[in-house]
Structure 1
Amino acid sequence: MNAAVPISQEIAWIGVNDRETHLFEALWPLPEGISYNAYMICDEKVALIDTVKINSALSYLEKISAMLPAGKKVDYLIINHMEPDHSGSIKVLLQQFPDLQIVGNKKTMGFLEGFYDITENLHVVKDGDVLDLGKHKLRFYLTPMVHWPETMMTYDTVDKVLFSGDAFGGFGTLDGGIFDDEVNIAFYKDEIRRYFSNIVGKFGKPVLNAIQKLQNLDIRVVAPTHGPIWRQDPAHIVEDYRRWSAHETEIGVVIAYGSMYGNTEKMADTIARGLAEAGIENVRVLNVSKTHVSYIINDIWRFKGLILGSCTYNLGLFPPMDSLIRHLENKLLTNRVLGIFGSYSWSGGGVSALKAFGEQSNWKVVEPVIEAQYAPHAEEMEQCAALARNMANEINT
């Protein structure tokens, strides 16, 4: 979108879409792109809230110039989050408006100097401080580790807009509509959860702390730095983030497997059929060699049951499976039920590594743990069916 979009009489979205970046943070695929949301408040004083990634700075500046009332200047830049996809245009902005005051908390200023060598015109705020723009009064809420140590949120006390930074955001460009009542939210839901589970999910406790801090606010609009702006049902996205941060789940099972020549895959298919026969409708069978780990983690975050299957490779785990469990260890995910299976030819090692992961994760492990030598035979296939039944019983209790 080439023009600013009004949120209220004095507040506008001045963000940009990115359909060119292939990997967010050089890690996570962006098949649906991503938006970098920034905002502008035109009052007696003019305030900007966050900037955009440097490659979109020109479009960002054009929106500011078009919105800026005649004879006015930009007085403040409020930084909710210093990650470069939101702070990347600060130096360009200062070239255009050299006298603007940069507003952030004490930790923000360390990042500002470290990234951009900016040490002047700084306005440091503490938790609960208010910035008076005239009609609009902005209150600041420090929300550390959502998901960086300097993160904070800005609340407009007049129009009841919460500028929430990376919290309550998601992947996906804003294609025409920018509000939840202008787009098909179902289209965004998986990408919002994939964003949460891979970017923010490790920091679930700080997210819950932030939600607790904000619970008494009258929030009519949630305006994050990525994804749709929530004005019709802002409580929806807050509740989603609460559930995911609390590691609450839906009934379903993810079967993630690694198979070089199809033997472990046969076991995965038998388990999947057993789950269906046991009444589990949500079954995801994912090949770790083909499916990017971010999509696997997204589904694992959603469902209660996880069954991991791996062939043995060089006396240990199949490398893509090893990568998956390292990611899971990093995410600190709780409240899951785990099943384990695999195969080997001349040497074991894959299944024992999965068992070690299960012990370390503190998840409940469902029996039987299955390891087939060479190809699975009738006995192992019967065990796979038993694992499916036991998993279904466990996640339905």
Structure 2
Amino acid sequence: MYSIQEITPQVFWVGGNDRRLERFENMFPLPNGVSYNSYLITDEKTALIDTVDTSIGALYLENVTHVLNGRKLDYLVINHMEPDHCANIEEIVRRYPNVQLVGNKKTFQFLEQYYSLNMSSNYLEIQEGQELGLGKHTLRFYFAPMVHWPEVMFTYEISQGILFSADAFGSFGALSGNVFADEIDFENVFADESRRYYANIVGRYGMQVQAALKKFTDVNIRMICSVHGPIWRKNLAYILEKYDKWSRYLPEKKGVVLFYASMYGNTENVMNALANKLAKRGIQDIRLYDVSKTHPSYIISDVWKYSHMVIGSPTYNMHLYFVMDALLRELSALGLKNRKISLIGNHTWSSGAIKGMHEIIDTMKNIEIVGAPLDVRSTLKPEREPELDALADAIYASLTEA
């Protein structure tokens, strides 16, 4: 049974949802599934914007067939060649052999890497700023390389101000009938998942996101249609401001994310004691995570949200505990900067955790170390509690400064 929605006159959402998928890209947990969005314009000429993942291919093709209602498909615009969006290109060409595939030079390079069917006669290679008329609707193409693949482009429909934005402005989470952000309790259902999606998927490419945003400074965008998550048609400033802040690596608000590794509970006890001391000092928005238990994508999302981090880890084989090492290296690879960080290490016979943390943190830009790093010897004895109090005071002072 087809499942489509007309989002503006002659523009249809023809995507679908996958609630069975456990992990996005086989890495990121999907407790609420994920949507795969595609859009079909039915003007004098018809244009399909992106395809979807193989998991919902049968529904997708039924949706497209229903909306076309016997008409031919003139264009398939390929904004992004990642497999969760390009998986149905070959099937579309088989069904509509005269369809023109709209993309850039890099698009077609990737297409030939993924597919063995020769579709070169269908190629319509476009340039930055080029326009394609469909009748009442006109498409203009903007290249957005490395947001987050090199071939990515955005398609802007001029008459209605619709930005088809590829993966940008996307989110984890399946849609439940309502396809518009203003029809959903966005703050409670999608806000965290949008940040988790951005930080982990696009976070490394903040400079490129900023370059893409600048292209639309004087463009009248009235709707944003991503390939994942809800469609934005109201209060676009909300998501645009989030993307501007996230891509400049600026925290959304003041708060503390404490995350730790602990083999036997001793480092955990210190982190719990510190969190308790911060709470007693009136600090709100405290998050506390065990890196061995919590998937790193959730920790990374909160690190993107908040201004301060406290990292606690034991030494393991004279080096940094490897799960913590992996998380910090991922934060460095994602380009995290502009944060205030406090450090707690633990060792019994050879101290290495704080040194290992510094080695990775020192690769990040504009990082301020708050308070003296605390290196615990197995357990925190009462006589060293003043050091923990001093660290709590330093974090409090940093959080409450103007």
TM superposition score normalised by structure 1: 0.97
Counterpart residue number, 2:387: 383
Aligned residues: 396
Counterpart residue number, 1:92: 91
Counterpart residue number, 1:79: 78
Q: Deviation of residue 367 (structure 1)?
A: 2.1
- Aligned mates of 2:92, 2:388 — CA distance in 1: 60
Q: Deviation of residue 193 (structure 1)?
A: 0.3
Confirm whether residue 212 of structure 1 aligns to residue 211 of structure 2. Answer: no
Counterpart residue number, 2:40: 40
DSSP-derived class of the 2:276 partner? helix
Counterpart residue number, 2:63: 63
Counterpart residue number, 2:290: 287
- Aligned mates of 1:126, 1:218 — CA distance in 2: 21
> 5+ residue gaps in structure 2?
none
The residue type paired with residue 331 of structure 1 is L
Q: What's the CA shift string for 1:11-47, capped at 9, x where partnerless?
A: 0000010111111111111111100100000011110
DSSP-derived class of the 2:181 partner? coil
Counterpart residue number, 1:324: 327
Deviates more, 1:217-226 or 1:379-388: 379-388
For the aligned residues, what is the CA RMSD? 1.2
Q: What's the CA shift string for 1:154-176, capped at 9, x where partnerless?
A: 01111111101100111000011
Deviates more, 1:381-390 or 1:172-181: 381-390
Q: Deviation of residue 355 (structure 1)?
A: 2.3
Contact map agreement 1:14 1:40 (CA 8 A) in 2 = yes
DSSP-derived class of the 1:322 partner? helix
DSSP-derived class of the 1:254 partner? strand
DSSP-derived class of the 2:224 partner? strand
- Aligned mates of 2:3, 2:110 — CA distance in 1: 30
The residue type paired with residue 324 of structure 2 is M
Q: Deviation of residue 84 (structure 1)?
A: 0.5
Confirm whether residue 374 of structure 1 aligns to residue 378 of structure 2. Answer: yes
Counterpart residue number, 1:128: 129
Confirm whether residue 138 of structure 1 aligns to residue 139 of structure 2. Answer: yes
Where do residues 232-271 of structure 1 align in structure 2 (5 Å cutoff)?
Answer: 232-249=234-251, 250-271=253-274
Confirm whether residue 161 of structure 1 aligns to residue 162 of structure 2. Answer: yes
DSSP-derived class of the 1:214 partner? coil
Contact map agreement 1:370 1:380 (CA 8 A) in 2 = no
Moved over 6 A (4+): none
Confirm whether residue 396 of structure 1 aligns to residue 400 of structure 2. Answer: yes
Contact map agreement 2:18 2:55 (CA 8 A) in 1 = no
Counterpart residue number, 1:179: 180
Where do residues 100-119 of structure 1 align in structure 2 (5 Å cutoff)?
Answer: 100-117=99-116, 118-119=119-120
The residue type paired with residue 66 of structure 1 is H
Contact map agreement 2:103 2:126 (CA 8 A) in 1 = yes
Q: Deviation of residue 142 (structure 1)?
A: 0.7
- Aligned mates of 2:383, 2:360 — CA distance in 1: 25
Q: Deviation of residue 61 (structure 1)?
A: 0.7
The residue type paired with residue 270 of structure 1 is A
Contact map agreement 1:22 1:29 (CA 8 A) in 2 = yes
- Aligned mates of 1:353, 1:227 — CA distance in 2: 38
Contact map agreement 2:328 2:361 (CA 8 A) in 1 = no
DSSP-derived class of the 1:165 partner? coil
Deviates more, 1:194-203 or 1:319-328: 319-328
Q: Which of 268, 275, 279 is the matching residue for 2:278? A: 275
Q: What's the CA shift string for 1:346-382, capped at 9, x where partnerless?
A: 2221122112223332411122111111211123332
> 5+ residue gaps in structure 1?
none
Q: Deviation of residue 153 (structure 1)?
A: 0.5
- Aligned mates of 1:122, 1:358 — CA distance in 2: 46
Q: Deviation of residue 238 (structure 1)?
A: 1.4
Contact map agreement 1:345 1:374 (CA 8 A) in 2 = yes
- Aligned mates of 1:358, 1:130 — CA distance in 2: 45
